[in-house]
Structure 1
């Protein structure tokens, strides 16, 4: 049975977010609510999620109350059930679609976009969180991101925006136990240069676009969402050493050693295959350029140092 939307009003701008409990979805909701409050603009933020239990977690993360007039919740959505999508999108004037990286989810994103068209999401932006990995020409990236970008452009030719998100800073949090127990990070990254992005900046960028009338030229409809600086893994461990007050080392391992470690920690075959292709692509320097798109659109400039300081407890 399709979920129901709380407090819907067609007369008020409605900014839909699916899936709202993702990192970038949560950040988008926070940025939208705060901006609407600050500017006294009319508008509501509709958080679209699969299950009811996500609602409480979202409210807690955003620091908002159950009766917040800025927030609506639509629970019970199923990407494979068009009726539930149509119900979730009804009355939305703009929409953020967060494409997951999990295998087989790409077609679900495309179903969301088709449902958004059928539900007449208008007149604002339809924003799709994509990935820099579209440049890899890997089957998973093609299925997950490239196809979704094309569908969005075809269905919403004058108001589709694609955010090609870079390497997430939050990926470093996975090495908390390694830093705590061994004082080291083991990765097959060699001396790859890259510009990691704070996931909060992805959501903030999406929100900034959704709050802007869709009048950009076509050249600006693909937004490169990277961090503001280029780093290596040696830079990452140097920052951690400063923040923690103890030495943290980067240990470069062979690629297949890294893949074996992924399997040991329960990574599925599709993920191992994808990372095996991704890391040599990073060695090539194809993603080392830091773009200014986030700063221009949001005024934010989230550095890796600030991110690691914010999550210092993970590594202690």
Structure 2
């Protein structure tokens, strides 16, 4: 399923899900810990079924999947309601917060999702994870922390741009995209790394959109725009290199269209931040061209998706954010 792109490379690895499942089935965890584990499991199931629905061709199967998705989503929200997030944070609470934020976002409640991600960001700071410089690949716990960091970063910057609110996660002493381990056999890991890179561009763009009053930001706007445009070009070149030869898996095809849509939407926004583009015909035409490519990518996503009920928010998310 991972090779088909149905398993999203979020903060919950397969090994983590197996450990949580065994703990629940063997009844070795209770109370709040059991609720946190269940929330993560139900969230993962909800996301998995949502992605499966995008490429399911059988109408009867789609109906069963949709019913299952609703059951798992309801169970996730019930766990989220019962968890006490006023307790001292730990890794399991952080994982539960991010899992809850993902399902809430799937339901279109962006504000609540942003709030949960802000709590997750505070938990990361409270636990000191934002200062970690190295991660032992042999350590299961450090791998879980690493995944939480890049996923929280992606969610925090993306949701903040969508809502035009200040992000909650502080600046990290490393490039968050370096935390995403990629595998050529798992194309979805390449997509996630690109999205984290684009989230970094959004973080800079958001500071300009919000007119960050810090002198070092106001006085270096042109320099910052030049840098993120250079970074966008580099990411665009990387996308072109990675997407060929094209995959025959429908879910992977949709994912590349989603990445294209995300890229061109952000590129359009960055160009619009440059006041000189309003007076430069070439830049105006470039901005319009990017906007059209974003629309074309969105239409390509719709073409691959078999029904409106299976359109997932991960690409509608971008459409709302930048239009």
Q: TM-score, normalised by structure 1?
A: 0.31
Q: TM-score, normalised by structure 2?
A: 0.31
Write 1 or 2 for the structure with the bigger share of helix: 2
